Structure 1
Amino acid sequence: MKQLIIIFTILIALPGVAQQNITLEECYQLVHKNYPLAKQTELLDAQNILEKEVVSTSKLPQFNLDAYATYQSDVIEFPIANVNIEPLNKDQYRATLSANQLIYNGGVIDASLDLKSAQYKTKQKQVEVNLYQLKQQINQLYFSVLLAQESELLLTAKQTELHAKLKEVKSGIKNGFVLPSSDKVLEAELLKISQQFQGLESNKLMLIESLSRLINHPLDDSTKFENPLVETNLHTNLARPELELFQLKKEELTTSENLLSKQNSPKLLGFVTGGYGNPGLNMLDNSFQTFYTVGVKLNWNVFDWNSVKKQQQSLKINKAIIDTETKTFELKTNIELNQQEKDIAKIERFITSDLEIIALRKEVLQSADSQLRNGVITSSAYITELTNLYEDENTLVKHRIQLQLAKANYNIIKGH
């Protein structure tokens, strides 16, 4: 008996457990976390570590192993008589192991590491920009689902009203107060409402599935989409990630200029070479010998035909190009914001008119309701007035959702 009670309790609780709520902000966070492009963030982290490690190896000793065997047609001979010096062998062999240690290179390695860091930041910000641009797509889907939800509620209210009116009409027909067949008109309208429910449900499921795929999070018809109260601030500056991306690109060019300025710096290396060969360093000893050399080496490209200077001028031109892209983006964004502000103001005026229209429609419907009860008008006339009120209420809901969508898009365009 106790087991049956427990099972019954679980079955009752299941619908509540299955239902989930979701907000617009959670959708933003989920797409930033789950969208396939977001995986690039971790990949770029790993790539940056590897690239910096490769650059840093230049500070470590560099080892080279060389070996060769040769046969030459002639060798050095000493044209002095009675000198006991054996001629060199025509076949010669040598193997060497060299170690080179960078001592000074003008800061090229550090500048290269700075450039890798700048490139990494630019790539990461580009991923952020690409993910940010998905927010307007989320807005469109999310508020479309909200509109479908609200439309279902209105349609349910209309259905409930018609069911109640159908009972009254049937009672009126029975008592002779209402014209016969008036109930058939109401029943036909209820069937039409059932069809409208099917259309709304199908469209809502399609929208939910699209949003679920976009954010890679399970959503279904039982999910409740919270209606956000979106507020806009017209007096804040643009804060789009694209502007940060433009700035990072310029910083990357600056680090490239710094690296170029060090390319022609003198490079000082220390080296040691050990070897074994025949002959060795003593060319008069015609036998296998071990040997070594130790020293320092200076390399300095004193003239590069202004190659570095021209590359730096090219980078400055790239900076100027980025400046024009930034200004173009700001101009385009401000135009979009201006249009969005006008849309918000227009929808707000529509809502004010909607409320006035609905108030009048309710008065008309109240009068029609009284006339139907007294047999003055037909059910068709009543349905016409009820449908007019429903459509105007639906228009109000649509405008309210559009207003929230317009404000949400405004915030996305502005970067807030």
Structure 2
Amino acid sequence: MKRFLTLLSISAWMFMNVFAQSEMKILSLEKCYDILYTENPVTDKIRMNRQITNLNQRIAQSGWYPDVQLEASASYQSDVVNFPLDMPNLDIPNFSKDHYNIALNITQPIFDGGRTSAAKQLEQDSGEMNEASMESDLLTIKEQVDRVYFGILILQVQMKIHETVISDLEEQLELVKSRVENGVLLPGNESSLRAEILKREQDLTKIHYDIMVGLESLAEILGTDEFLTYKLELPEKENWELQNQDILRPELAMIEARQEFLGTQKNLSDANKLPTVSVFVRPSYGRPGFNMFEDDLQFNWIVGVQARWSLKSARNASVKTDVFDLQQKQLSEDRTLFNRQQNAALNRLKKEIQSIEEQIQKDQEILELLRQVAEEKRSLVDEGSNTVTDYISALNDQYRAELQLELRKIMRVQAIINYETEQGWTWN
């Protein structure tokens, strides 16, 4: 009963699979990349980071805006100035113990030594560093997509070959069955074929569920569930050739952005060596005013120019400049080390691609020879001069060679994409 249910389940699935082939949608690797870049949370973070950078630059630019401060106060004091004089015909003023004042301070910078410009550029550099870091995270997810995608492609090839083997075995089973009934072959030949078919069907069931798991994983990474019934296609890399291009990895962009950031910090430090100059206006209304002998509320104002310079800030700025120079040298060493590692990785992948291409040629020759052997074994079985076991063995050898050939084709494309990723992958 269990065997019957298993066969029924596999048969139903295979029927649905064949029926859906005509309407099955194709999912390309480029489509996965498009979804990854447009719908992944990391891309949302990149967009928000750009908005944050723009807002921070607006804040930094406000260093040139006039600064307006409103001050108000009210107080009462225990005593005031009294003149110990009592002279005729002399009006000695009395001062109130309650004081009131409201003033507006307006300051407009006219020279800041480049502080505002450096602060604005600092926000730009900081935003680029954050974006490069997020691009690196996105590249890591892209590599996960590649691994899952090619894993499913391999399973699809295995499923196709297993289906072909089962079809061939079932065709041969009909011939063997009739010869057993006619007494030409022993019943064990038919049993061997049936057992082999069951093994293949068992493997096919596992491959089917492995594909489903792979598609679910891919959908989870991409944040969608619409790919569970899609068929994946192998990217076109038939005429691909090695090209010498500059490395455009996000790690390098991070190093370059960090160097720019340090350079801007150095400029800001140099600006701190210079004074700041601004003009100011201070209108006020209150009591007492500038004329202390008038005890009424008064309106007053003052305008002027002020400059600020700090000896400690200037000395520290010189030390910070030396620190930034050393940090930039460290980043230059990091860049050199990264380039060496990348060149080594590219050379390794280049050799891997060349090796796979040579093995593909040999696989094609091996497959052709094993096809001839399997065909001979099949002819001998048809004639009754050979056992089914020998034919099954030869057929397995043939399909193992065919599977190996198809797997190497996938491995070649995967190695090419790994090479392109290592060389520098962009979202164009």
* Same fold, TM-score > 0.5, yes or no: yes
Contact 1:270–1:296 under 8 Å retained in 2: yes
Are 2:316 and 1:329 equivalent residues in the alignment? no
Name the counterpart of 2:117.
110
Identity percentage over the alignment? 27
Aligned equivalents of 2:260, 2:314: Cα separation in 1: 27
State the Cα RMSD in Å. Answer: 2.3
* Aligned partner (choices 236, 252, 255) of residue 246 of structure 1: 255
Aligned equivalents of 2:265, 2:167: Cα separation in 1: 71
Are 2:192 and 1:185 equivalent residues in the alignment? yes
Name the counterpart of 1:60.
65
How far is 1:305 from its partner?
Answer: 5.7
How far is 1:363 from its partner?
Answer: 2.1
Name the counterpart of 1:404.
413
Query: Which string of whole-angstrom CA distances, capped at 9 and with x for unpartnered residues, describes residues 339-395 of structure 1?
Result: 222322333343233223222222221221121112222222221221121222212
Aligned equivalents of 1:214, 1:69: Cα separation in 2: 64
The SS at the match of 2:401 is helix
In structure 1, give the amino acid aligned to 2:29. Answer: L
Distance 1:18 1:287, change over 3 A: farther
Matched pairs, number: 403
How far is 1:303 from its partner?
Answer: 5.4
How far is 1:284 from its partner?
Answer: 1.1
Query: Which string of whole-angstrom CA distances, capped at 9 and with x for unpartnered residues, describes residues 259-282 of structure 1?
Result: 221123332222222222222111
Stretches of 4+ moved more than 6 A in 1? Answer: none
Aligned equivalents of 2:315, 2:115: Cα separation in 1: 19
The SS at the match of 1:68 is strand
Name the counterpart of 2:368.
359
Aligned equivalents of 1:187, 1:295: Cα separation in 2: 104
Name the counterpart of 1:162.
169
Are 2:30 and 1:48 equivalent residues in the alignment? no
Aligned equivalents of 1:47, 1:18: Cα separation in 2: 45
* Aligned partner (choices 220, 244, 261) of residue 235 of structure 1: 244
Aligned equivalents of 1:191, 1:268: Cα separation in 2: 90
In structure 1, give the amino acid aligned to 2:31. Answer: E
Name the counterpart of 2:217.
210
Name the counterpart of 2:80.
75
In structure 1, give the amino acid aligned to 2:236. Answer: L
In structure 1, give the amino acid aligned to 2:389. Answer: S
How far is 1:405 from its partner?
Answer: 1.2
Unaligned runs of 5+ in 1: 1-13
How far is 1:244 from its partner?
Answer: 2.6
Contact 1:93–1:278 under 8 Å retained in 2: yes
How far is 1:66 from its partner?
Answer: 1.7
Unaligned runs of 5+ in 2: 1-18
Higher mean C-alpha deviation, range 225-234 or range 198-207: 225-234
* Aligned partner (choices 38, 42, 45) of residue 37 of structure 1: 42
Aligned equivalents of 2:377, 2:81: Cα separation in 1: 126
Contact 1:178–1:373 under 8 Å retained in 2: no
Distance 1:347 1:85, change over 3 A: same
Contact 2:27–2:227 under 8 Å retained in 1: no
Name the counterpart of 1:89.
96
How far is 1:299 from its partner?
Answer: 2.1
Query: Which string of whole-angstrom CA distances, capped at 9 and with x for unpartnered residues, describes residues 12-62 of structure 1?
Result: xx9589632122222222212222111112211221222122223332322
The SS at the match of 2:187 is coil
How far is 1:79 from its partner?
Answer: 4.9
Name the counterpart of 1:296.
305
Name the counterpart of 2:277.
268
Distance 1:237 1:47, change over 3 A: closer
How far is 1:74 from its partner?
Answer: 4.4
The SS at the match of 1:269 is strand
